[in-house]
Amino acid sequence: MTEQIHNPMNEPRYCGIPTFMRTPLATDLSNLDIALVGVPYDGAVEARSGARQGPRQIRDMSSMIRAIHHVSRINPYELCRIADVGDVRFTKIFDIEASHADITGFYGKLHKAGIVPLSAGGDHSITLPILRAIAADRPVGLVHIDAHTDCCDEEMNSKYSHGTPFRRAVEEGILDPKRTIQIGIRGAANSADCWEFGPKHGIRIVYIEEFTKLGVDKVIAEARSLVGEGPTYISFDIDSIDPAYAPGTGTPEVGGLTTLEAQGLIRGLSGLNLVGADVVEVSPPFDSSGNTALIGATIMYEILCILAKKISSNPK
């Protein structure tokens, strides 16, 4: 294999076939700890589509990311076996529920192989079918960073949209609402139901105003104590970040996180019992500079570092 002959980090960044973080492209699941996965699907978006093109653009911009984290000094590639396993393949792309079933099938194989997935969307509807695969045997906790709760009951008379995944996940018993925290929530809604469903079931919502008052460290402390030692998933919607930094997304909301606050939040989740993560809603058609995709790639790398550290510390 070529990756044993040369180190891709030493190659010019514009060379070769782009994979997430310049990792090898793998089809064999027998020898991996962490899989980087693309989910190029945005069929559950009501307004500005384009996140289907997220994985390809994030892969390209992720060639900018080097190996060693400047704060933690973690080199994830020394700690774990990490590869890009390609994209979920869709068999009926115009059918939301069939597409979600394709996603669940793909992640079911990873889960069975004991591989932790770190994914790039796609719209936020993809998190529900991912959780159906990796939380099939027990509910998971969730650190959800987003401008929106994504706890609507319906959107355009559909139960499955990018505004509904976490409500469905609670209803299906795959998400533990008492071990769920949503951070960065803001923006007007046409019904207050999307903000009221969660707290009724035990979800903790940290609106952006409270986040600003508390600061990153206090929110981290609360998130850590809330999810505890149980299995925990991280779902990062790029629209949590202020559109001044990340305009390339379908549902931008002003008054958001800075990139540094978002990076600090992820670093603060180190050591949790992480079972997977995703970065969603990067939409290249609205990302004229490519910076939103670069932020998406950087957040994936931040998550990759804490995932690799945790997985490498688990007893074999």
Residues in contact with Mn ion by the rule CB under 5 A: 124, 146-148, 150, 237, 239
Smallest gap from residue 45 Cβ to Mn ion (A):
10
Of 125 and 263, CB closest to Mn ion: 125
Q: Write out the two tokens for 47.
A: 């307004």
- Rank residues 23 and 182 by Cβ distance to Mn ion and give the closer one: 182
Provide the minimum distance between the beta carbon of 184 and Mn ion in the complex, in angstroms, as a whole number. Answer: 9
Residue number with CB closer to Mn ion (253 or 302):
253
Q: Judged by CB, which is closer to Mn ion: 5, or 47?
A: 47
CA distance 178 to 65: 35
| Cβ 150 to Mn ion shortest distance, Å | 4
Distance of CA 111 to the CA centre of its chain: 16
**How many CA within 13 A on the CB side of residue 310?**
21
* Shortest spacing between CB 148 and Mn ion, in angstroms: 4
Cα(166)–Cα(128) distance, integer angstroms: 7
Q: Which is nearer to Mn ion, 186 or 309 (CB)?
A: 186
232 and 180 in contact (C-beta within 8 Å)? Answer: no
Residue 115 or 118 having the CB closest to Mn ion: 118
Sheet containing 175-185: which strands, arranged edge to edge? 82-87, 34-39, 116-121, 274-280, 232-237, 140-145, 175-185, 204-207
Q: What are the distances in angstroms from CA 264 to CA 27, 41, 277, 295, 298?
A: 33, 28, 16, 13, 12
Both tokens of 34, joined, read 């962490």
Distance CA 240, CA 219 (A): 15
Which of residues 24 and 193 has its CB atom nearest to Mn ion in the complex?
193
The DSSP symbol for 173 reads T
Q: How far is the CB of 201 from Mn ion (least distance, A)?
A: 18
Beta carbon of residue 5, minimum distance to Mn ion (angstroms, whole number): 41
| Minimum separation from the CB atom of position 74 to Mn ion (A) | 27
Q: What are the angstrom distances between the C-alpha of 217 and each of 28, 110, 165, 224, 259? A: 40, 33, 28, 11, 15
What's the min distance (Å) between Cβ of 110 and Mn ion? 22
CA distance 149 to 181: 10
Q: At 186, which amino acid appears?
A: R
Using the structure block, give the residue that is written with the tokens 């949790």: 272
Question: Based on CB atoms, which residue is closest to Mn ion, 82 or 143?
Answer: 143
